[in-house]
């Protein structure tokens, strides 16, 4: 839905609701992000000759880069983004103007081979994520790769090879596990033993059949959306307990929305994920999660309200604003190259990058073929 084309009453209600959910500053940048996506310059802004600061690069300057990556970097560290690239020069120029960059460009090579850049945030179209990340690693950079980090098995193999062969660190754009509620869910579940039952229900945005998500090369909505929840569930299962992992699909004519998929892990934990895409939700993507392990019973709504019951004790966590973990994960990437004093850099392991990518690729295959698939083992180092 194009919110900029709605009537005043709709825009007013949406703004008021989002202020309650996210606060004034966060809501304003979300609104600016909508207009950023429609920005068309009659005369592109002049790049200041004497401007030469910052050490970060951004490849892909869409709404996520504008209202999340650049916003949280600027909020926490100031004007440290050096250059931005997009195939639509208007979006790169808009990011340049709004966040005080040194330059903007249509050339990814300029960002990748800029000696002043040590970390690149890759937030372009899905099919290009791995390609840009591999080039950046080979050029000696560290990379933050927005989800999905790959759309094909050969990309996953080549990305893992580039990680093994180069010194640059990697972080992935799976933000939910880094939210306050995500961290609390893992803490309480890890305190118990035995298999777990998980259930996710997600109401996503309806998007038109012409949307770029549906292009064959982009991976569809399983890789564009569902990967958030496949990753979250995977991270809640200890590596030693994951395999063999059985994927069972349930779908109608469409393979990537209005679907359900279940996972049976090696320790007999069971996870069910249901993804519905019917119409539009006023508050964005809606999520409901439940889990049961040992004596812990968990329920969570929209990363805003968490209830944890441990026998007779009940714990509640309700952050003042909805928190999906974007800020913590974006900062985590920054601190791979500029860590806080006394804090070791925290980056994704090669094993994890392979396993979470393999899971969502196999999930897509299972849904497309409407066949059960068994993954027999995790990363084997090859």
Q: Is the pLDDT of residue 360 over 80?
A: yes
Tens of pLDDT, residues 292-325 = 999 999 999 999 999 999 999 999 999 999 999 9
Q: Does domain 176-321+350-375 have CATH number 3.30.360.10?
A: yes
Q: What is the pLDDT of residue 242?
A: 97
Residue 165: which pLDDT band, with cuts at 50, 70 and 90? Answer: very high
- 342 pLDDT above the threshold of 80: no
Statement: residue 3 has pLDDT above 70 = no
- Give the pLDDT confidence score for residue 214 in this predicted structure: 73
Q: Give the per-residue pLDDT at 212.
A: 67
The answer to whether residues 148 and 360 touch, using CB atoms and an 8 Å cutoff, is yes
Q: To the nearest whole percent, how much of the chain has pLDDT over 90?
A: 79
Q: How high is the pLDDT of residue 1?
A: 60
* Choices 3.40.50.970, 3.40.50.720, 3.40.50.1000, 3.30.420.140: CATH for 3-172: 3.40.50.720
41 DSSP 8-state letter = -
- Is the pLDDT at 327 greater than 80, yes or no? yes
Confidence of residue 166 (pLDDT cuts 50, 70, 90): very high
Give the per-residue pLDDT at 204. 85
Q: Tell whether the model's pLDDT for residue 5 goes beyond 80.
A: no
Task: List the chain domain ranges.
Answer: 3-172, 176-321+350-375
Confidence (pLDDT) at 190? 97
Contact 181, 298 (CB under 8 A): no
* Residue 254 pLDDT: 85
Percent of the chain with pLDDT over 70: 97
DSSP single-letter state for residue 173: -
Q: What is the per-residue pLDDT across 175-202, written as a single tens digit (0 to 9) for each?
A: 999 999 999 999 999 999 999 999 999 9
Helix and strand element counts for the chain (H, E): 13, 15
| Gap between the Cα atoms of 41 and 20, Å rounded | 33
Higher local confidence (pLDDT), 342 or 190? 190
Rounded to whole angstroms, how far apart are CA atoms 14 and 28?
11
CA torsion sign for 367, 369, 374, 376 is negative
Q: Where does the pLDDT of residue 382 fall: very low under 50, low under 70, confident under 90, or very high at 90 and above?
A: low
Query: And the tokens for 345?
Result: 């850099």
pLDDT in tens, 96-136: 999 999 999 999 999 999 999 999 999 999 999 999 999 99
Task: Describe the crossing of helices 24-36 and 89-99 by its angle, rounded to 10 degrees.
Answer: 150
Cα radius of gyration rounded to whole Å, the chain = 21
> Can you tell me which residue has the tokens 């012409």?
210
Per mean pLDDT, which range of 84-93, 160-169, 342-351 is the poorest? 342-351
Q: Under a CB-based contact definition with an 8 Å cutoff, are residues 273 and 260 in contact?
A: yes
pTM of the model: 0.94
Of all helices (H) and strands (E), which one includes residue 271?
strand 270-276
**105 or 208, which is more confident:** 105
Summarised one tens digit per residue, pLDDT across range 128-160 is 999 999 999 999 999 999 999 999 999 999 999
- The pLDDT of residue 174: 97
174: which 2 tokens?
Answer: 């799976």
Q: What are the pLDDT digits (tens) for 34-53?
A: 999 999 999 999 998 767 78
Establish whether the linkage from the previous residue to 79 is cis, with ω within 30° of 0: no
What distance in Å separates the CA atoms of residue 246 and residue 266, rounded to the nearest whole number?
Answer: 8
For 121-160, give one letter per residue: b (16+ CB within 10 A) or e.
bbbbbbbbbbbbbbbbbebebbbbbbbbbbbeeebbebbb
Question: Which tens digits make up the pLDDT trace of 254-290?
Answer: 888 899 999 999 999 999 999 998 877 877 889 999 9
């Amino acid at each position: 839905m194009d919110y900029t084309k709605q009537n005043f009453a709709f825009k007013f209600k949406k703004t008021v609701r989002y202020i309650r959910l996210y606060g004034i500053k966060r809501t304003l940048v979300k609104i600016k992000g909508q207009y950023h996506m429609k920005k068309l310059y009659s005369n592109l802004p002049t790049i200041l000759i004497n401007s030469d600061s910052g050490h970060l690069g951004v490849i892909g300057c869409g709404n996520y880069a504008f209202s999340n990556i650049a916003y949280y970097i600027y909020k926490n560290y100031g004007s440290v983004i050096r250059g931005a690239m997009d195939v639509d020069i208007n979006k790169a120029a808009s990011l340049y103007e709004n966040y005080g960059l040194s330059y903007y460009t249509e050339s990814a090579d300029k960002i990748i081979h800029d000696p002043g850049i040590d970390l690149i945030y890759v937030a372009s179209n899905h099919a290009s994520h791995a390609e840009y990340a591999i080039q950046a690693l080979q050029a000696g950079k560290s990379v933050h790769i927005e989800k999905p980090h790959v759309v094909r098995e050969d990309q996953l193999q080549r990305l893992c090879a580039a990680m093994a062969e180069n010194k640059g660190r990697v972080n992935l754009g799976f933000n939910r596990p880094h939210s306050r509620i995500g961290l609390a869910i893992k803490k309480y579940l890890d305190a118990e033993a035995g298999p777990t039952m998980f259930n996710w229900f997600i109401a996503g945005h309806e998007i038109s059949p012409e949307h770029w998500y549906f292009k064959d090369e982009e991976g569809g909505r399983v890789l564009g959306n569902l990967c958030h929840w496949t990753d979250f569930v995977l991270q809640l299962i200890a590596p030693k307990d994951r395999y063999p992992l059985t994927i069972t699909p349930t779908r109608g004519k469409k393979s990537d929305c209005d679907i359900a998929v279940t996972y049976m892990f090696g320790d007999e934990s069971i996870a069910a994920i249901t993804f519905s895409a019917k119409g539009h939700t006023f508050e964005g993507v809606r999520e409901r999660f439940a889990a049961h392990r040992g004596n812990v019973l968990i329920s969570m709504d929209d990363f805003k309200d968490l209830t944890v019951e441990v026998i007779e004790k009940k714990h509640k966590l309700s952050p003042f604003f909805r928190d999906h973990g974007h800020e913590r994960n974006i900062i985590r990437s920054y601190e791979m190259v500029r860590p806080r004093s006394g804090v070791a850099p925290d980056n994704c392991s090669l094993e994890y990058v392979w396993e979470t990518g393999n899971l969502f690729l196999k999930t897509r295959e299972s849904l497309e073929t409407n066949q059960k698939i068994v993954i027999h083992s995790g990363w084997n180092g090859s």
